[in-house]
Structure 1
Protein backbone atom coordinates (compact mmCIF):
# COMPACT_ATOMS: atom_id res chain seq x y z
CA UNK A 1 0.00 0.00 0.00
CA UNK A 2 1.40 3.40 -0.98
CA UNK A 3 1.86 6.24 1.53
CA UNK A 4 -1.17 7.98 0.02
CA UNK A 5 -3.36 4.91 0.38
CA UNK A 6 -2.17 4.49 3.97
CA UNK A 7 -3.11 8.08 4.83
CA UNK A 8 -6.47 7.75 3.12
CA UNK A 9 -7.17 4.54 5.01
CA UNK A 10 -6.24 6.20 8.31
CA UNK A 11 -8.35 9.31 7.77
CA UNK A 12 -11.31 7.86 5.93
CA UNK A 13 -11.81 4.13 6.16
CA UNK A 14 -10.90 3.33 9.75
CA UNK A 15 -14.50 3.12 10.87
CA UNK A 16 -17.00 0.69 12.44
CA UNK A 17 -19.43 -1.23 10.19
CA UNK A 18 -22.60 0.66 9.41
CA UNK A 19 -25.78 -0.07 11.32
CA UNK A 20 -27.73 -0.09 8.07
CA UNK A 21 -31.16 -0.52 9.65
CA UNK A 22 -30.59 2.77 11.47
CA UNK A 23 -29.82 4.54 8.19
CA UNK A 24 -32.89 3.07 6.49
CA UNK A 25 -35.07 4.26 9.38
CA UNK A 26 -33.60 7.77 9.15
CA UNK A 27 -34.24 7.86 5.39
CA UNK A 28 -37.86 6.79 5.92
CA UNK A 29 -38.29 9.42 8.64
CA UNK A 30 -36.94 12.21 6.45
CA UNK A 31 -39.09 11.07 3.53
CA UNK A 32 -42.17 11.22 5.78
CA UNK A 33 -41.17 14.67 7.02
CA UNK A 34 -41.02 15.92 3.46
CA UNK A 35 -44.74 15.10 3.06
CA UNK A 36 -45.82 17.21 6.06
CA UNK A 37 -47.07 20.77 5.88
CA UNK A 38 -44.06 22.85 6.89
CA UNK A 39 -44.09 26.20 8.59
CA UNK A 40 -43.16 29.17 6.46
CA UNK A 41 -39.73 29.36 8.12
CA UNK A 42 -38.95 25.66 7.48
CA UNK A 43 -37.70 24.05 4.27
CA UNK A 44 -36.96 20.49 3.16
CA UNK A 45 -35.24 19.72 -0.13
CA UNK A 46 -34.00 16.58 -1.88
CA UNK A 47 -31.23 16.29 -4.45
CA UNK A 48 -29.60 13.77 -6.77
CA UNK A 49 -26.14 14.33 -8.26
CA UNK A 50 -23.60 12.68 -10.53
CA UNK A 51 -19.98 13.77 -10.20
CA UNK A 52 -16.93 12.83 -12.25
CA UNK A 53 -14.98 12.13 -9.03
CA UNK A 54 -15.82 11.80 -5.35
CA UNK A 55 -13.27 14.23 -3.92
CA UNK A 56 -12.97 14.85 -0.15
CA UNK A 57 -10.30 17.20 1.14
CA UNK A 58 -8.02 16.36 -1.76
CA UNK A 59 -8.52 12.57 -1.50
CA UNK A 60 -10.23 10.54 -4.25
CA UNK A 61 -12.80 8.37 -2.43
CA UNK A 62 -14.16 6.44 -5.43
CA UNK A 63 -11.02 5.07 -7.08
CA UNK A 64 -11.14 7.54 -9.97
CA UNK A 65 -14.71 6.65 -10.99
CA UNK A 66 -17.85 8.84 -11.27
CA UNK A 67 -19.98 8.88 -8.13
CA UNK A 68 -23.75 8.94 -7.75
CA UNK A 69 -24.88 11.00 -4.75
CA UNK A 70 -28.22 11.76 -3.09
CA UNK A 71 -29.26 14.03 -0.22
CA UNK A 72 -32.04 15.37 1.99
CA UNK A 73 -31.72 18.77 3.67
CA UNK A 74 -33.80 20.45 6.38
CA UNK A 75 -33.49 24.08 7.51
CA UNK A 76 -35.18 26.33 10.04
CA UNK A 77 -35.08 30.12 9.98
CA UNK A 78 -34.11 30.00 13.68
CA UNK A 79 -30.73 28.56 12.72
CA UNK A 80 -31.03 24.77 12.96
CA UNK A 81 -30.18 22.64 9.93
CA UNK A 82 -29.77 18.91 9.31
CA UNK A 83 -28.84 16.80 6.31
CA UNK A 84 -28.51 13.18 5.27
CA UNK A 85 -26.30 12.42 2.25
CA UNK A 86 -25.42 9.14 0.55
CA UNK A 87 -22.38 8.63 -1.69
CA UNK A 88 -20.85 5.78 -3.65
CA UNK A 89 -17.31 5.08 -2.44
CA UNK A 90 -14.51 2.70 -3.43
CA UNK A 91 -11.25 2.42 -1.45
CA UNK A 92 -9.80 -0.08 -3.92
CA UNK A 93 -8.92 -3.46 -2.43
CA UNK A 94 -9.82 -2.42 1.13
CA UNK A 95 -13.55 -1.58 0.89
CA UNK A 96 -16.40 -0.19 -1.21
CA UNK A 97 -20.10 0.54 -0.79
CA UNK A 98 -22.28 3.44 0.33
CA UNK A 99 -21.13 6.24 2.62
CA UNK A 100 -23.86 7.85 4.73
CA UNK A 101 -23.00 11.36 5.93
CA UNK A 102 -25.26 12.71 8.69
CA UNK A 103 -24.96 16.43 9.47
CA UNK A 104 -26.49 18.69 12.09
CA UNK A 105 -25.67 22.29 13.00
CA UNK A 106 -26.94 25.45 14.63
CA UNK A 107 -26.05 28.88 13.26
CA UNK A 108 -26.06 31.84 15.63
CA UNK A 109 -26.05 35.39 14.21
CA UNK A 110 -23.32 37.55 15.77
CA UNK A 111 -23.80 40.87 14.03
CA UNK A 112 -24.65 42.05 10.53
CA UNK A 113 -23.27 39.61 7.92
CA UNK A 114 -21.45 37.52 10.57
CA UNK A 115 -22.41 34.22 12.23
CA UNK A 116 -21.12 31.41 14.44
CA UNK A 117 -21.85 27.78 13.50
CA UNK A 118 -21.64 24.75 15.80
CA UNK A 119 -22.25 21.25 14.48
CA UNK A 120 -21.12 17.74 13.69
CA UNK A 121 -20.72 15.20 10.89
CA UNK A 122 -21.32 11.48 11.40
CA UNK A 123 -19.70 9.20 8.78
CA UNK A 124 -21.16 5.69 8.39
CA UNK A 125 -20.14 3.02 5.87
CA UNK A 126 -21.98 0.00 4.45
CA UNK A 127 -18.77 -2.01 4.08
CA UNK A 128 -15.98 -2.93 6.46
CA UNK A 129 -14.86 0.64 7.13
CA UNK A 130 -15.43 2.09 10.58
CA UNK A 131 -17.60 5.04 11.61
CA UNK A 132 -16.52 8.28 13.23
CA UNK A 133 -17.95 11.61 14.38
CA UNK A 134 -16.41 14.97 13.56
CA UNK A 135 -17.32 18.09 15.57
CA UNK A 136 -16.80 21.59 14.25
CA UNK A 137 -17.06 25.29 14.97
CA UNK A 138 -17.17 27.86 12.19
CA UNK A 139 -17.08 31.64 11.81
CA UNK A 140 -18.52 33.32 8.71
CA UNK A 141 -18.43 36.92 7.55
CA UNK A 142 -19.89 37.94 4.18
CA UNK A 143 -18.28 35.49 1.70
CA UNK A 144 -15.52 34.19 4.04
CA UNK A 145 -15.69 31.14 6.33
CA UNK A 146 -13.16 29.72 8.80
CA UNK A 147 -13.98 26.27 10.18
CA UNK A 148 -12.17 24.03 12.69
CA UNK A 149 -13.07 20.33 12.80
CA UNK A 150 -12.01 17.65 15.29
CA UNK A 151 -12.51 13.88 14.93
CA UNK A 152 -11.79 12.23 18.29
CA UNK A 153 -12.36 8.73 16.86
CA UNK A 154 -9.53 9.15 14.35
CA UNK A 155 -7.46 11.67 16.30
CA UNK A 156 -7.46 14.22 13.48
CA UNK A 157 -7.85 18.01 13.35
CA UNK A 158 -8.71 19.98 10.23
CA UNK A 159 -8.61 23.76 9.65
CA UNK A 160 -10.56 24.96 6.63
CA UNK A 161 -10.77 28.33 4.86
CA UNK A 162 -13.57 28.98 2.35
CA UNK A 163 -14.24 31.86 -0.04
CA UNK A 164 -17.53 31.87 -1.97
CA UNK A 165 -18.20 34.93 -4.10
CA UNK A 166 -20.58 35.81 -6.94
CA UNK A 167 -18.37 36.92 -9.82
CA UNK A 168 -21.02 37.13 -12.55
CA UNK A 169 -24.80 37.35 -12.53
CA UNK A 170 -25.24 33.57 -12.38
CA UNK A 171 -21.78 32.25 -11.44
CA UNK A 172 -20.17 31.72 -8.04
CA UNK A 173 -16.43 31.32 -7.41
CA UNK A 174 -15.51 28.72 -4.77
CA UNK A 175 -12.05 28.63 -3.18
CA UNK A 176 -11.07 26.30 -0.35
CA UNK A 177 -7.81 25.60 1.50
CA UNK A 178 -7.46 23.02 4.25
CA UNK A 179 -4.73 21.94 6.68
CA UNK A 180 -4.96 18.45 8.20
CA UNK A 181 -3.16 17.32 11.37
CA UNK A 182 -3.32 13.56 11.99
CA UNK A 183 -1.15 13.62 15.11
CA UNK A 184 1.95 12.62 13.14
CA UNK A 185 2.25 15.23 10.41
CA UNK A 186 0.45 18.14 8.76
CA UNK A 187 -0.42 18.52 5.09
CA UNK A 188 -2.66 20.73 2.97
CA UNK A 189 -5.17 20.46 0.15
CA UNK A 190 -6.99 23.07 -1.91
CA UNK A 191 -9.85 23.49 -4.38
CA UNK A 192 -10.68 26.07 -7.06
CA UNK A 193 -14.19 25.82 -8.49
CA UNK A 194 -17.21 27.47 -10.04
CA UNK A 195 -20.89 26.68 -9.89
CA UNK A 196 -24.08 28.04 -11.40
CA UNK A 197 -27.81 27.30 -11.48
CA UNK A 198 -29.06 26.88 -15.03
CA UNK A 199 -32.64 26.99 -13.70
CA UNK A 200 -34.46 26.59 -10.37
CA UNK A 201 -33.77 22.84 -10.26
CA UNK A 202 -30.35 22.17 -11.81
CA UNK A 203 -26.87 23.22 -10.64
CA UNK A 204 -23.60 22.51 -12.42
CA UNK A 205 -20.11 22.82 -10.98
CA UNK A 206 -16.56 22.41 -12.24
CA UNK A 207 -13.09 22.97 -10.88
CA UNK A 208 -9.72 21.65 -9.81
CA UNK A 209 -8.72 19.91 -6.56
CA UNK A 210 -5.22 19.04 -5.38
CA UNK A 211 -3.41 17.59 -2.37
CA UNK A 212 0.10 18.13 -1.01
CA UNK A 213 0.89 14.43 -1.57
CA UNK A 214 0.33 14.87 -5.34
CA UNK A 215 0.28 11.13 -6.05
CA UNK A 216 -2.29 8.50 -6.97
CA UNK A 217 -5.37 8.81 -4.79
CA UNK A 218 -4.45 12.36 -3.70
CA UNK A 219 -3.43 14.32 -6.77
CA UNK A 220 -4.47 17.21 -8.98
CA UNK A 221 -7.89 16.45 -10.44
CA UNK A 222 -10.28 18.34 -12.72
CA UNK A 223 -13.88 17.64 -11.73
CA UNK A 224 -17.38 18.20 -13.06
CA UNK A 225 -20.73 17.66 -11.40
CA UNK A 226 -24.44 18.17 -12.00
CA UNK A 227 -27.11 18.24 -9.29
CA UNK A 228 -30.88 18.12 -9.64
CA UNK A 229 -33.15 19.43 -6.87
CA UNK A 230 -36.71 18.27 -6.17
Structure 2
Protein backbone atom coordinates (compact mmCIF):
# COMPACT_ATOMS: atom_id res chain seq x y z
CA UNK A 1 0.00 0.00 0.00
CA UNK A 2 1.38 3.26 -0.98
CA UNK A 3 2.98 6.03 1.00
CA UNK A 4 0.47 8.80 0.41
CA UNK A 5 1.57 12.40 0.00
CA UNK A 6 5.23 13.08 0.79
CA UNK A 7 4.65 15.15 3.93
CA UNK A 8 4.97 14.96 7.69
CA UNK A 9 1.63 13.16 7.72
CA UNK A 10 2.81 10.31 5.50
CA UNK A 11 4.11 8.02 8.22
CA UNK A 12 3.09 4.61 6.96
CA UNK A 13 6.45 3.75 5.45
CA UNK A 14 6.14 2.10 2.06
CA UNK A 15 8.99 0.64 0.10
CA UNK A 16 9.02 3.44 -2.45
CA UNK A 17 8.38 7.11 -1.60
CA UNK A 18 6.50 9.14 -4.20
CA UNK A 19 8.55 12.19 -5.19
CA UNK A 20 7.21 13.68 -8.40
CA UNK A 21 7.76 16.68 -10.61
CA UNK A 22 4.86 19.11 -10.59
CA UNK A 23 3.50 20.70 -13.76
CA UNK A 24 0.61 23.16 -13.92
CA UNK A 25 -2.44 21.84 -15.76
CA UNK A 26 -5.42 24.20 -15.98
CA UNK A 27 -6.26 25.18 -12.38
CA UNK A 28 -4.60 22.11 -10.87
CA UNK A 29 -1.28 20.30 -10.84
CA UNK A 30 -0.16 16.87 -12.01
CA UNK A 31 2.81 14.93 -10.63
CA UNK A 32 4.24 11.54 -11.52
CA UNK A 33 6.99 9.35 -10.11
CA UNK A 34 8.52 5.90 -10.30
CA UNK A 35 10.84 3.95 -8.08
CA UNK A 36 12.45 0.70 -7.05
CA UNK A 37 13.07 -0.82 -3.62
CA UNK A 38 14.85 -3.86 -2.25
CA UNK A 39 11.51 -5.15 -0.92
CA UNK A 40 7.89 -4.09 -0.36
CA UNK A 41 7.70 -2.94 3.27
CA UNK A 42 4.13 -2.28 4.43
CA UNK A 43 3.38 -1.31 8.01
CA UNK A 44 6.19 -3.45 9.40
CA UNK A 45 5.49 -6.43 7.12
CA UNK A 46 7.83 -7.53 4.33
CA UNK A 47 5.14 -8.22 1.73
CA UNK A 48 7.77 -8.71 -0.94
CA UNK A 49 9.31 -11.70 0.87
CA UNK A 50 12.72 -10.18 0.23
CA UNK A 51 12.17 -9.62 -3.50
CA UNK A 52 12.68 -6.19 -5.14
CA UNK A 53 9.62 -4.03 -5.89
CA UNK A 54 8.95 -1.57 -8.69
CA UNK A 55 6.28 1.13 -8.35
CA UNK A 56 4.87 4.21 -10.08
CA UNK A 57 2.33 6.90 -9.24
CA UNK A 58 0.25 9.61 -10.92
CA UNK A 59 -1.34 12.39 -8.85
CA UNK A 60 -3.59 15.40 -9.37
CA UNK A 61 -4.07 18.24 -6.89
CA UNK A 62 -6.07 21.46 -6.83
CA UNK A 63 -6.28 23.57 -3.69
CA UNK A 64 -6.95 21.25 -0.76
CA UNK A 65 -8.14 18.39 -2.98
CA UNK A 66 -5.91 15.61 -4.31
CA UNK A 67 -6.43 12.28 -6.05
CA UNK A 68 -4.22 9.69 -7.64
CA UNK A 69 -3.22 6.15 -8.46
CA UNK A 70 -0.25 4.04 -7.39
CA UNK A 71 0.85 0.66 -8.75
CA UNK A 72 3.39 -1.84 -7.40
CA UNK A 73 4.75 -5.21 -8.44
CA UNK A 74 5.97 -6.02 -4.96
CA UNK A 75 3.34 -8.09 -3.12
CA UNK A 76 4.59 -11.70 -3.17
CA UNK A 77 1.18 -13.16 -2.22
CA UNK A 78 -1.33 -10.92 -4.01
CA UNK A 79 0.65 -10.00 -7.12
CA UNK A 80 0.32 -6.61 -8.81
CA UNK A 81 -1.43 -3.98 -6.69
CA UNK A 82 -3.23 -0.78 -7.70
CA UNK A 83 -4.16 1.87 -5.13
CA UNK A 84 -6.77 4.54 -5.96
CA UNK A 85 -7.12 7.39 -3.49
CA UNK A 86 -8.45 10.90 -2.95
CA UNK A 87 -8.64 13.32 -0.06
CA UNK A 88 -8.30 16.81 1.33
CA UNK A 89 -5.22 18.29 3.00
CA UNK A 90 -4.29 21.67 4.43
CA UNK A 91 -3.01 23.71 7.37
CA UNK A 92 -4.83 25.55 10.15
CA UNK A 93 -3.12 27.48 12.92
CA UNK A 94 0.19 25.70 12.49
CA UNK A 95 -1.45 22.25 12.41
CA UNK A 96 -1.40 20.27 9.16
CA UNK A 97 -4.24 17.85 8.43
CA UNK A 98 -5.10 15.20 5.85
CA UNK A 99 -8.30 13.15 5.39
CA UNK A 100 -9.12 10.74 2.60
CA UNK A 101 -10.08 7.32 1.31
CA UNK A 102 -8.01 4.64 -0.44
CA UNK A 103 -9.05 1.56 -2.41
CA UNK A 104 -6.58 -1.34 -2.80
CA UNK A 105 -7.12 -3.38 -5.98
CA UNK A 106 -5.50 -6.73 -6.86
CA UNK A 107 -6.32 -7.36 -10.55
CA UNK A 108 -5.21 -11.00 -10.43
CA UNK A 109 -8.67 -11.51 -8.87
CA UNK A 110 -10.11 -14.05 -6.46
CA UNK A 111 -7.58 -13.13 -3.76
CA UNK A 112 -8.82 -13.87 -0.22
CA UNK A 113 -12.46 -13.25 -1.07
CA UNK A 114 -11.89 -10.36 -3.47
CA UNK A 115 -12.58 -10.28 -7.20
CA UNK A 116 -9.85 -7.86 -8.20
CA UNK A 117 -12.32 -5.00 -8.63
CA UNK A 118 -12.77 -1.52 -7.19
CA UNK A 119 -14.41 -1.61 -3.77
CA UNK A 120 -12.91 -4.92 -2.62
CA UNK A 121 -10.67 -3.44 0.07
CA UNK A 122 -11.01 0.16 1.26
CA UNK A 123 -9.75 2.34 4.12
CA UNK A 124 -10.43 5.85 5.34
CA UNK A 125 -7.58 7.80 6.91
CA UNK A 126 -6.97 10.97 8.90
CA UNK A 127 -3.70 12.64 9.82
CA UNK A 128 -2.53 15.54 11.97
CA UNK A 129 0.90 17.14 12.19
CA UNK A 130 2.57 19.89 14.19
CA UNK A 131 6.22 20.70 13.70
CA UNK A 132 8.26 17.47 13.64
CA UNK A 133 5.50 15.36 15.24
CA UNK A 134 2.62 13.71 13.39
CA UNK A 135 -0.18 11.20 13.85
CA UNK A 136 -1.91 9.03 11.22
CA UNK A 137 -4.88 6.68 11.57
CA UNK A 138 -6.30 4.24 8.98
CA UNK A 139 -9.58 2.36 9.42
CA UNK A 140 -10.90 -0.47 7.25
CA UNK A 141 -14.40 0.13 5.86
CA UNK A 142 -14.73 -2.59 3.21
CA UNK A 143 -12.98 -5.90 2.56
CA UNK A 144 -13.54 -9.40 1.19
CA UNK A 145 -12.47 -12.21 3.48
CA UNK A 146 -9.59 -10.00 4.47
CA UNK A 147 -6.07 -9.23 3.44
CA UNK A 148 -3.27 -10.40 5.75
CA UNK A 149 -3.23 -8.33 8.95
CA UNK A 150 -6.37 -6.53 7.75
CA UNK A 151 -8.44 -9.72 8.03
CA UNK A 152 -11.16 -8.03 10.08
CA UNK A 153 -13.98 -5.56 9.47
CA UNK A 154 -12.78 -3.50 12.45
CA UNK A 155 -9.08 -3.53 11.50
CA UNK A 156 -7.20 -0.26 12.02
CA UNK A 157 -3.62 0.98 11.91
CA UNK A 158 -2.16 4.00 13.72
CA UNK A 159 1.25 5.65 13.54
CA UNK A 160 3.00 8.25 15.67
CA UNK A 161 6.15 9.74 14.21
CA UNK A 162 8.84 12.36 14.55
CA UNK A 163 11.32 13.79 12.09
CA UNK A 164 14.66 15.51 12.74
CA UNK A 165 16.45 16.64 9.61
CA UNK A 166 17.07 13.59 7.42
CA UNK A 167 16.15 11.15 10.19
CA UNK A 168 12.75 9.87 11.23
CA UNK A 169 11.19 7.41 13.66
CA UNK A 170 7.69 5.92 13.45
CA UNK A 171 5.82 3.73 15.90
CA UNK A 172 3.12 1.72 14.13
CA UNK A 173 0.24 -0.15 15.79
CA UNK A 174 -2.07 -2.71 14.13
CA UNK A 175 -5.40 -3.31 15.88
CA UNK A 176 -7.77 -6.12 14.84
CA UNK A 177 -7.18 -8.55 12.02
CA UNK A 178 -5.52 -11.84 12.80
CA UNK A 179 -2.93 -10.24 15.08
CA UNK A 180 -2.15 -7.07 16.97
CA UNK A 181 1.28 -6.16 15.67
CA UNK A 182 3.42 -3.18 16.71
CA UNK A 183 6.67 -2.10 15.08
CA UNK A 184 9.20 0.73 15.03
CA UNK A 185 10.58 2.10 11.75
CA UNK A 186 13.84 4.05 11.71
CA UNK A 187 14.39 5.98 8.48
CA UNK A 188 17.11 8.04 6.86
CA UNK A 189 16.77 10.12 3.68
CA UNK A 190 20.12 10.47 1.95
CA UNK A 191 18.52 12.91 -0.50
CA UNK A 192 15.14 13.46 -2.16
CA UNK A 193 15.51 10.21 -4.11
CA UNK A 194 17.41 7.71 -1.94
CA UNK A 195 16.17 6.57 1.47
CA UNK A 196 16.62 3.71 3.92
CA UNK A 197 14.16 2.19 6.42
CA UNK A 198 14.91 -0.29 9.19
CA UNK A 199 11.72 -1.86 10.55
CA UNK A 200 11.85 -3.55 13.96
CA UNK A 201 8.99 -5.72 15.33
CA UNK A 202 8.10 -5.31 18.99
CA UNK A 203 8.83 -8.40 21.07
CA UNK A 204 5.37 -8.58 22.67
CA UNK A 205 3.54 -8.51 19.33
CA UNK A 206 1.70 -11.65 18.23
CA UNK A 207 2.54 -11.38 14.55
CA UNK A 208 2.35 -14.22 12.07
CA UNK A 209 4.54 -12.35 9.60
CA UNK A 210 7.31 -9.79 9.68
CA UNK A 211 8.83 -11.21 12.88
CA UNK A 212 12.39 -10.34 11.84
CA UNK A 213 13.83 -6.82 11.43
CA UNK A 214 13.87 -5.68 7.80
CA UNK A 215 16.17 -3.18 6.10
CA UNK A 216 14.81 -1.64 2.90
CA UNK A 217 16.57 0.74 0.53
CA UNK A 218 14.44 2.66 -1.97
CA UNK A 219 15.15 5.00 -4.86
CA UNK A 220 12.49 7.16 -6.52
CA UNK A 221 12.54 9.73 -9.32
CA UNK A 222 10.18 12.14 -11.02
CA UNK A 223 8.76 11.52 -14.49
TM-score interval, normalised by the smaller of the two chains: 0.7 to 0.9
Secondary structure of the residue aligned to 1:163 is strand
Post-superposition shift, 1:215?
A: 7.2
How many residues were matched structurally?
182
Name the SS for the 1:152 alignment partner.
strand
Over 3 Å counting, the alpha-carbon distance change for 1:218 and 1:44 in structure 2 is farther
TM-score by length of 1: 0.70
Name 2:187's counterpart in structure 1.
Answer: 193
Within 2, Cα distance between the matches of 1:74 and 1:218?
37
Q: Is residue 206 of structure 2 the alignment partner of residue 225 of structure 1?
A: no
Which residue number in structure 2 is paired with residue 70 of structure 1?
A: 56
Which structure has more helix as a fraction of its residues? 1
Partner of 1:145: 134
Where does residue 133 of structure 1 map in the other structure? 122
Q: CA deviation at 1:216?
A: 5.7
* Contact 1:60/1:218 (<8 A) preserved: no
Structure 1 match to 2:105? 124
Moved more, 79-88 or 101-110: 101-110
Aligned-residue offset at 1:70? 0.7
Aligned-residue CA RMSD in angstroms?
2.5
The match for 2:26 among 32, 38, 49 is: 38
Residues 32-79 of structure 1: per-residue CA shift (max 9 Å, x gap): xx998333xx32111110100100001111121000111112222x21
1:18-167 aligned at under 5 Å gives the runs 37-39=25-27, 42-76=28-62, 78-91=63-76, 95-111=77-93, 113-127=94-108, 128-129=110-111, 130=114, 131-153=120-142, 154-155=152-153, 156-166=155-165
Does the residue aligned with 2:181 lie in a helix, a strand or coil? strand
Deviation (angstroms), 1:85: 0.6
Q: Which runs of 5+ in 1 are unaligned?
A: 1-11, 13-33, 167-171
Unaligned runs of 5+ in 2: 2-21, 115-119, 143-151
Q: Is the Cα–Cα contact under 8 Å of residues 58 and 219 in structure 1 kept in the other structure?
A: no
